[in-house]
Amino acid sequence: MSHCEIGSQYRRCACIRRDVDIATTASWLISEPKQAETAIQNSQLDMVTLGREMLRDPYWPYHAAEELGVSLASDILPIQYALAV
Protein backbone atom coordinates (compact mmCIF):
# COMPACT_ATOMS: atom_id res chain seq x y z
CA MET A 1 0.00 0.00 0.00
CA SER A 2 1.32 3.43 -0.85
CA HIS A 3 1.19 5.80 2.10
CA CYS A 4 0.03 8.46 -0.35
CA GLU A 5 -3.22 6.64 -1.05
CA ILE A 6 -5.27 7.99 1.82
CA GLY A 7 -8.42 6.49 0.33
CA SER A 8 -6.99 3.00 0.63
CA GLN A 9 -5.99 3.72 4.24
CA TYR A 10 -9.59 4.71 5.00
CA ARG A 11 -10.89 1.54 3.41
CA ARG A 12 -8.40 -0.56 5.36
CA CYS A 13 -9.41 1.19 8.58
CA ALA A 14 -13.07 0.50 7.85
CA CYS A 15 -12.35 -3.24 7.32
CA ILE A 16 -10.33 -3.50 10.54
CA ARG A 17 -13.02 -1.70 12.55
CA ARG A 18 -15.69 -4.00 11.15
CA ASP A 19 -13.77 -7.29 11.46
CA VAL A 20 -11.72 -6.80 14.63
CA ASP A 21 -13.72 -4.10 16.44
CA ILE A 22 -10.82 -1.95 17.50
CA ALA A 23 -10.28 1.77 17.07
CA THR A 24 -8.39 2.79 13.95
CA THR A 25 -6.72 5.90 12.62
CA ALA A 26 -5.13 7.03 9.37
CA SER A 27 -2.62 9.69 8.43
CA TRP A 28 -0.93 11.14 5.40
CA LEU A 29 -1.57 14.56 3.99
CA ILE A 30 -4.77 15.11 5.94
CA SER A 31 -5.16 18.86 6.12
CA GLU A 32 -8.81 19.80 5.61
CA PRO A 33 -11.21 19.60 8.58
CA LYS A 34 -14.08 18.52 6.34
CA GLN A 35 -11.97 15.67 4.95
CA ALA A 36 -11.22 14.42 8.48
CA GLU A 37 -14.81 14.84 9.69
CA THR A 38 -16.28 13.06 6.68
CA ALA A 39 -14.03 10.02 7.18
CA ILE A 40 -15.05 9.80 10.85
CA GLN A 41 -18.75 10.40 10.17
CA ASN A 42 -18.68 7.70 7.50
CA SER A 43 -17.43 5.28 10.19
CA GLN A 44 -14.27 4.59 8.24
CA LEU A 45 -12.01 5.41 11.18
CA ASP A 46 -12.21 6.61 14.77
CA MET A 47 -9.75 9.47 14.61
CA VAL A 48 -7.32 11.09 12.25
CA THR A 49 -3.61 11.48 12.91
CA LEU A 50 -1.92 14.65 11.76
CA GLY A 51 1.84 15.06 11.62
CA ARG A 52 3.16 17.90 9.50
CA GLU A 53 -0.09 19.85 9.54
CA MET A 54 0.16 20.08 13.33
CA LEU A 55 3.67 21.47 12.96
CA ARG A 56 2.33 24.11 10.56
CA ASP A 57 -0.63 24.98 12.78
CA PRO A 58 -0.50 23.70 16.37
CA TYR A 59 -4.02 25.13 16.82
CA TRP A 60 -5.34 22.92 13.98
CA PRO A 61 -7.95 21.12 16.14
CA TYR A 62 -9.31 24.46 17.35
CA HIS A 63 -9.32 25.99 13.88
CA ALA A 64 -10.96 22.82 12.52
CA ALA A 65 -13.66 22.94 15.20
CA GLU A 66 -14.36 26.58 14.28
CA GLU A 67 -14.47 25.78 10.56
CA LEU A 68 -16.87 22.89 11.19
CA GLY A 69 -19.17 25.16 13.18
CA VAL A 70 -18.62 23.59 16.60
CA SER A 71 -20.16 25.90 19.21
CA LEU A 72 -17.66 26.89 21.88
CA ALA A 73 -14.77 25.55 19.83
CA SER A 74 -12.40 26.98 22.43
CA ASP A 75 -13.69 24.34 24.88
CA ILE A 76 -11.35 21.85 23.25
CA LEU A 77 -8.37 23.92 24.41
CA PRO A 78 -6.76 23.91 27.86
CA ILE A 79 -8.28 26.86 29.73
CA GLN A 80 -5.07 28.89 29.64
CA TYR A 81 -4.93 28.57 25.84
CA ALA A 82 -8.64 29.30 25.48
CA LEU A 83 -8.08 32.63 27.22
CA ALA A 84 -5.63 33.57 24.45
CA VAL A 85 -7.84 32.96 21.41
Please identify, using beta-carbon distances, which residue of 53 and 66 lies nearer to ligand FMN.
53
Looking at the Cβ atoms of 56 and 84, the one nearer to ligand FMN is 56
Looking at residues 47 to 66 of the shown chain, list those that interact with ligand FMN (rule: CB under 6 A).
Answer: 49-53, 55
Element (DSSP H or E) covering residue 25: strand 25-26
The CB density around residue 9, as the number of other CB atoms within 10 Å, is 22
Residue 47: beta bridge partners? 25
Residue of 44, 34, 40, 27 lying closest to 66 (CA atoms): 34
Binding mask 10-49 for ligand FMN (x = CB under 6 A): -----------------xxxx------------------x
